Structure 1
Amino acid sequence: MPANVKYERVNELKEMLDKSEAVFVAEYRGLTVAKITELRAKVRQAGGEMKVAKNTLFKIALQEKDMPVPEDIMAGPNVYTVVYDDPVAVAKVFAEFSRDKSNKAFVMKGGIMGTSILDAAQVGALADLPSREVLIAQVVSTIAAPLSGLVTVLSGSIRGLATCLSQIKEKKEQAA
């Protein structure tokens, strides 16, 4: 009977991994229930879901989904955060939560993004990135810069011609 429960749990984890963009692993030992509940709410708002699962069951789910298994960070009591939307947003939530001195018990261990295993420093680097919307705005402005320069150059020629014709008109009016 307990084996069936474990199979169901692995299947539940696999379903979560199907929809995931990234998975972050952290140690939460020493956090109060209120703090972990607060963190779960913030992660949910950022597009992720935190689950406490047995390391062996999560490892089986990762292997069955052909995802890399970060053996070195999957020891001890871990909370697994499956990110459904923007990994940067969830990493920012973790970084912000860790900055508070009362949350020093929360330790980011690393994660998985695509086929890459991330260490804690790389997850921190993700948190330092601008949000997806800011990155898109930067790309659009980079693409638009040459176009606006072209418009300026082309309008400059027309503006120069208009100024020249205006001056000729003024000279002819003065001569008449």
Structure 2
Amino acid sequence: MPSQTNVEQVARLKELLSDVSAVFVSEYRSLTVSQMTEVRAKLREAGGEMKVAKNTLMRIAMKEAGLPVVEDMTAGPNVYTVAHGDPVTVAKALLEFSKQKGNEALSIKGGVLGKKVLSAAEVEALSALPPREVLLGQLLGAIGSPLYGLVNVLSGSARMLVTCLNQIKVQKEKAATA
């Protein structure tokens, strides 16, 4: 029979996981309090939240929230980072912090993006992507490029006609003054 405290903690974790786009699992052994405070501040700026929880309780909460359970990643002292918005910016902030000198103790084990389990290499690849807004801008540029080309081609004939008429006008003016 689970204790009331554990049941409440699972409920809080399930509520935390209810509207996330990604969950990243990291080991935080040997990080100081000031380092943890620093990484939490960076993650909050990026739209994420870091939570230390018992692995068993987090597995139960993830299962109840409909997320895939990451059994092989949940050994040892883990910290769970949830992305409420863009998972790319949160992954980037997490990786940038872990690669700074002195912060190597924070090692990313993997994570969950939507319904897909990610390895540590896939989380690193995710962090290399540009943010969502930049990707949307690139997509709009790719969609708009053929339209711009079509407008340019269609307006080319009218432009050539205007240039030709202007040349005829200039020649007639020269002939009239001569």
TM over 0.5: yes
Q: Secondary structure at the match of 2:3?
A: helix
In the alignment, structure 1 residue 72 sits paired with structure 2 residue 72: yes
Does the residue aligned with 1:29 lie in a helix, a strand or coil?
coil
Correspondence list, 1:122-137, <5 A: 122-137=122-137
In structure 1, C-alpha distance between the alignment counterparts of 2:67 and 2:91, rounded to whole Å: 20
In structure 2, the gaps of 5 or more residues are none
Match of 2:24 in 1: 24
Q: Given residue 114 of structure 2, which amino acid in structure 1 is its aligned partner?
A: G
Deviation at 1:175, TM superposition (A): 3.5
Q: What root-mean-square deviation, in Å, do the aligned CA atoms of Structure 1 and Structure 2 show?
A: 1.4
Amino acid at match of 1:107: S
CA distance in structure 2 between the partners assigned to 1:41 and 1:175 by the alignment: 78
In the TM superposition, what are the counterparts of 1:153-168 in structure 2 within 5 Å?
153-168=153-168
Q: Percent same amino acid at aligned positions?
A: 58
What is the distance in 1 between the residues matched to 2:175 and 2:34? 88
Tell me if 1:100 matches 2:95.
Answer: no
1:57 maps to 2:47: no
Please identify runs of 4+ aligned residues in structure 1 that moved more than 4 A: none
Gaps in structure 1 of 5+ consecutive residues? none
- After the TM superposition, which residues 32-47 of structure 1 pair with which residues of structure 2 at under 5 Å, given as runs? 32-47=32-47
**Which AA in structure 2 matches 1:93?**
A
Q: Whole-Å Cα distance in 1 between the matches of residues 92 and 151 of structure 2? A: 39
How many correspondences in the alignment? 176
TM-score, length-scaled by structure 1:
0.95
1:8-49 alpha-carbon deviations (Å, 9 max, x no partner): 100001101111111000000100000011000110111111
